[in-house]
Structure 1
């Protein structure tokens, strides 16, 4: 068996403005279970990066441990990648981002990798507003170790073995809003129409963009009684609205027949155009978002779409007032101010 995709592609495949086809954004053949929701998420990342015409060599993919953390091998094969220690992806992403802020960073994690061993890392990545796309592929179980319940498994949810989870789940989307994340979204791996514009907006967002994606485990958590199964998620999804992502270079063409429309302008001039379906929800109001999430939870619904966004808060580099030049591009001339300046600095510390 080979893990490499065939080199041949149809010569008339559509190309983006860089002249690349989807081939340049794909990765190796997936070794995940057939039908795994994670592969659908990988496909949406490929599509989003292709449509935004992102140069693959300017992307860094960083993951932890778990089924989800294997996926960076399956998308953007021409990009940089690092598979880190369990739960420690945010630290590695922070170090890479501080060294070179001119890249697009994808942090890929799972519900075990983030909601259990990596919870502390998750909290501080949000607190620092690290400029990255943080995707959690959430299936409510530990797929690599035979399907035990994870911290996001809903109370009363039944595993494949028939075990009923007695514990309350960690609600990652609500937690991200409460912690002050500047971009919070939730989606379903089977909803490509919703997920692609969300990922495109997340890439363009200046700060940490968190997307919690329900991604059913077809082997261990796709059974009757599971609240993370394909059937359950499809039947209990409630979208905040329909959305379009409009890049800076293109005019807004999104129109809707009825309902309330709102447009959120990102820092680079790109626009997230939303047709709101939830009646009392404002994506730029944290309290409104918290209420909408709690109301959905009380109804056993899964609220999907762009939940909250705040564009007026700078990312980690702006907070620390770092140099405009990426740190890995600074030379000795930039870093060493000379003996006279150093003597003055040392004198001020005595």
Structure 2
């Protein structure tokens, strides 16, 4: 059986500043299980890119292996795409970003792809502060291979098979903070009101931006006793605050909800507004963020929203002082300047 999206679109669909409708950012029809949280995340990515008026050809979407890593097929159908091997997506993104710094790099991974086989790669892409958005679709199980517990499954969480997980979980947000990530957030696939602004803010951030999204597996991990189920997350999610992303190219008016206590200007000049509900969390202090996550973990709650952001972040290109001109645009003459240039370089090193 083949699946095709209808080509007809209502002529009055809303258009962004580039004249594109949201349909221009969609992909193929999803073949994931009906109700899968991953599809909601795909929809949030589409919405965020459409509202930010990003040229589709300016985006590169990359993934590894797993249910989550199938999703780039379902969004940004007119963007560049690369499906890498299990756990190795960060290496591919690093190579692509060093060759062409002008693209927006959007990496999508799963809890198995990141917290198990890809943990080493995840650690180094975070500490190097590569300029990319890294979204983890976290369901606590291996949905592609019949629902075994993953490394992010909480201790005591009950799988569909009926056995509690005996091991402690890896908290990807806490781990990323310890690795040196400069933007860390967590959300829930069923909360687009929170997730879409977080994706926008991550795109605008200069450096490594992690968003860990709890995304229930409706087939293998949405049962009673699971801490990654829709019911559990809705009952135990504790938001850091309401998030609203405001691009600078649009006039900032005064019709926002009262009580905003933080305004952060990002590297591209845009702002993120936070309504701070968690009094003990300073999202610009790494230690405060770690302590807040630990307090909520001990209470059995899931802290969502913007957890940490480094306002003075310097990405990998800035740290290495790479050429402003993308390597992909260099000509043979630039790459092979001739024997005399080589002699001059050797002479300068003597």
1:204-243 correspondence runs (5 A): 204-243=204-243
- Residues 257-296 of structure 1, C-alpha deviation per residue, up to 9 Å, x if partnerless? 34x5101110111001000000111111111111111111
Aligned counterpart, 1:283? 283
- Residues 231-264 of structure 1, C-alpha deviation per residue, up to 9 Å, x if partnerless? 0000000000001101021233463334x51011
Aligned residue for 1:34, secondary structure, equals coil
Matched, 1:256 2:219: no
Aligned residue for 1:29, secondary structure, equals coil
* 2-structure distance, mates of 1:62, 1:256: 36
CA contact (8 A) 1:206 1:311 kept: no
Aligned counterpart, 2:178? 178
Structure 2 runs not aligned, ≥5 long: none
Matched, 1:137 2:137: yes
* 1-structure distance, mates of 2:85, 2:323: 30
TM-score w.r.t. structure 2 length? 0.97
Residue 311 of structure 1 and its aligned partner are, at CA, apart by 2.6
- Residues 104-162 of structure 1, C-alpha deviation per residue, up to 9 Å, x if partnerless? 11100000000000000000000111111100000000000000000000000000010
Aligned counterpart, 2:93? 93
Aligned residue for 2:261, secondary structure, equals strand
- Residues 288-323 of structure 1, C-alpha deviation per residue, up to 9 Å, x if partnerless? 111111111011110000000013121111111111
* 2-structure distance, mates of 1:233, 1:71: 22
Aligned residue for 2:30, secondary structure, equals coil
Aligned counterpart, 1:75? 75
- Residues 163-208 of structure 1, C-alpha deviation per residue, up to 9 Å, x if partnerless? 1100000000011111110100000000000000000011111111
Aligned counterpart, 1:187? 187
Which range is displaced more, 308-317 or 335-344?
A: 335-344
* 2-structure distance, mates of 1:335, 1:178: 38
Matched, 1:43 2:43: yes
Structure 1 runs not aligned, ≥5 long: none
1:296-315 correspondence runs (5 A): 296-315=296-315
* 2-structure distance, mates of 1:251, 1:344: 53
Aligned counterpart, 1:265? 265
* 2-structure distance, mates of 1:80, 1:323: 23
Aligned residue for 1:62, secondary structure, equals strand
- Residues 37-75 of structure 1, C-alpha deviation per residue, up to 9 Å, x if partnerless? 000000000000000000001111100000000000000
Aligned residue for 1:226, secondary structure, equals coil
* 2-structure distance, mates of 1:287, 1:255: 30
Which range is displaced more, 61-70 or 339-348?
A: 339-348
* 1-structure distance, mates of 2:202, 2:226: 29
Kindly report the root-mean-square deviation, in angstroms, between the aligned alpha carbons of the 2 structures. 1.2
- Residues 75-110 of structure 1, C-alpha deviation per residue, up to 9 Å, x if partnerless? 000111111000000000111111111111110000
* 1-structure distance, mates of 2:120, 2:286: 22
* 2-structure distance, mates of 1:178, 1:251: 37
Aligned length: 349
* 1-structure distance, mates of 2:99, 2:3: 32
Which range is displaced more, 123-132 or 109-118?
A: 123-132
CA contact (8 A) 1:156 1:164 kept: yes
Matched, 1:329 2:335: no
* 2-structure distance, mates of 1:18, 1:2: 32
* 1-structure distance, mates of 2:21, 2:249: 20
Matched, 1:110 2:110: yes
TM-score w.r.t. structure 1 length? 0.97
Residue 23 of structure 1 and its aligned partner are, at CA, apart by 1.0
